[in-house]
Homo-oligomer: A and B are copies of this chain.
């Protein structure tokens, strides 16, 4: 990549972040009456629903706090971040301290689920707001909630398992990826905490049990010792997820200057890209069966925004870490398809759900799953990575 191209990339991402995406969410999603964010935004940003998915409250609060901490001290960003964290604090916890999945606009509980991802994004929001404000209480709450997350993850019976563990013990990639990323986050605000060994053992577990080098795949769930599970659930790969996992670990490797781990992450990125890229229409498929048996997820061949966001970050990070042309090329291939299909120049922000051929399937900009997170995180990361690469 030429220095000029790196400047172009940095500039494109910075402008899209600060002039399009962040203003879109600031303008349309803040709930000035009840606090927090309304994420059901149609193409123009109008509200088509007001229930509040808790994951998306934490994610949007993380975004605004991170912008304030790392980009610029704008009051409106800090206020927006505080509004989300306040809403979570007041409305997102059940009496036993477990976080809900969905509440009403006013904050009344609608749905509890067995997962702990509400906790993951709340920890990220608390940690980022601590970095933004220096408020010690936020730091302590982030650390406390991380301990709760770890307990749910590790103590059997805390969360009723979806699949009967007596018949088929199963473990998933998702909580382990989150664990690596959370440890990397908390290390910054709690340097004396137990995060480095946790990171080590989790990365080891991911590479040992979920990555199958000989079959060139990364599995979403496996048995306790990495055994391949029966049927399509045992063969499902989510390329966007695998590539997100790869850059979470690559961040650790770069911080530590661990060249061997950098190489392993790059090999993971290679596998995810090779499995996910749609040779016919371009873009990344949502789910693939690693043995090319019939996929059972109805949406398997759709093109979703977030795997493209994660892949752009991973490819650019791999280029910055290795300076290999293959990652510059991978980045450019992803960049061309993503920027041609996802952004909506007319009304701002990005579409989230495209059909296999790249046509828009639903024009929503936000909903139960898409919020102010993957797009702006990608824009921020690519901007900063391109700047680093240009400066180096």
Contact = CB atoms under 8 A, between A and B. Distances in A.
Interface residues of A, number: 42
Interface in A327-379: 353, 355-356, 361-364, 367-368
Interface stretch (A61-69, A71-79, A212-220, A297-305): A297-305
How many identical chains are in the complex?
2
B49 A231 contact: yes
Nearest to A295: B362
Given A109-B167, A167-B110, A300-B361, A50 B231 contact: yes
B51 A296 contact: no
A256 interface: no
A232 B48 contact: yes
A323 interface: no
B294 A362 contact: yes
Interface in A277-335: 289, 293-296, 298-302
A166 B294 CA distance: 42
A368 B232 CA distance: 10
A104 interface: yes
B48 A293 contact: yes
A332 to B, nearest CB: 28
Nearest to A366: B294
A243 to B, nearest CB: 20
A42 B294 contact: yes
Given A298-B299, A361-B301, A367-B294, A164 B110 contact: yes
Given A49-B230, A162-B111, A356-B355, A296 B104 contact: no
A40 to B, nearest CB: 6
Contacts of A368: 232, 296
Contacts of A301: 355, 361-362
A33 to B, nearest CB: 15
A8 B43 CA distance: 48
A256 to B, nearest CB: 38
A348 to B, nearest CB: 15
B293 A104 contact: no
Interface string A214-248: 00000000000000001111000000000000000
A104 B294 contact: no
A144 interface: no
B296 A299 contact: no
Contact of A111 (B164, B294, B367): B164
A336 B302 CA distance: 27
Interface of A: 40, 42-43, 48-51, 104, 108-112, 162-164, 166-168, 230-233, 289, 293-296, 298-302, 353, 355-356, 361-364, 367-368
Given A49-B232, A51-B231, A109-B166, 17 more contacts: A42-B293, A42-B294, A48-B232, A50-B231, A104-B230, A109-B167, A110-B167, A111-B162, A232-B367, A294-B364, A296-B367, A298-B299, A298-B353, A299-B299, A301-B355, A301-B362, A355-B355
